[in-house]
Amino acid sequence: MILDKQNKKRLIIDMDGVLADVYLQFIAMEEKESGSKINIQDLKGKEEYKAFPNGRKHVNSKGFFRNAPLMPDAVESLRRLNEQYEIYIVSAAMEFPGSLIEKHEWLAEHFPFIGWQQITFCGSKKIIKGEIMIDDHFKNLDNFEGQTILFTQPHNEGPDDRGHTRVTGWMEINKLLL
């Protein structure tokens, strides 16, 4: 399926928990802080800040976003999707002003094929429009008017997907969209 530029569908993609593996970062920083390693299997259905006692401190600390590990297959998937879709990376970064530059640098390092026109740092995603949204937070998908893809992360695992299409990892997104 190759669409011409005018007909490309607009695809809105989240950063934390979708492109950046923030759970690995939280677990590593909690271990450094407390000495004990949290098992990701124990975090299903728990909100992020309940799962990680020092989470708010770590998310505000220098380097949290700049050094976040990449989600597996994210770079190659985005490179291919970027040819077929009108892609926008939309991150709710405004709660942590220190993250603005870190996120910008992180994207420039790992996704150099994404232009500045394609990046948005917001407070709320309620004002974002597009045809498809990939996100790990219900609050963002529930307000979106187009197709919604729920990226599995421990905090969103549970019996109810609220009508969103659940995917586990980028290879499943590729099967859906490419």
Residues that are catalytic: 14, 16
**At 162, phi and psi to the nearest 5?**
55, 30
Nearest alpha carbon to residue 19 among 101, 64, 105, 77: 77
Asked if 153 and 23 count as a contact pair (C-beta separation under 8 A), the reply is yes
Residue 124 vs 168, nearer CB to a copy of itself:
124
Q: Give min distance, CB of 8 to a copy of itself, in A.
A: 12
Name the residues that contact a copy of itself, by CB under 8 A.
Answer: 10, 12, 88, 90, 94-95, 97, 100-101, 104, 115-124, 127-130
Residue 100 has which token pair?
A: 């603005």
Report helix angle 170-177 to 74-84, nearest 10.
Answer: 20
Residue 122 vs 176, nearer CB to a copy of itself:
122
Residue 84 vs 118, nearer CB to a copy of itself:
118
Q: Give min distance, CB of 122 to a copy of itself, in A.
A: 4
Q: 142: left (phi > 0), else alpha (psi -120 to 50), else beta? A: alpha
Asked if 162 and 148 count as a contact pair (C-beta separation under 8 A), the reply is no
Q: In this structure, is the dihedral angle defined by the CA atoms of residues 163, 23, 12 and 121, taken in order, positive or negative?
A: positive
Q: Give min distance, CB of 138 to a copy of itself, in A.
A: 17
Spatial distance between the Cα atoms of 142 and 154, rounded to a whole number of angstroms: 18
Residue 11 vs 173, nearer CB to a copy of itself:
11
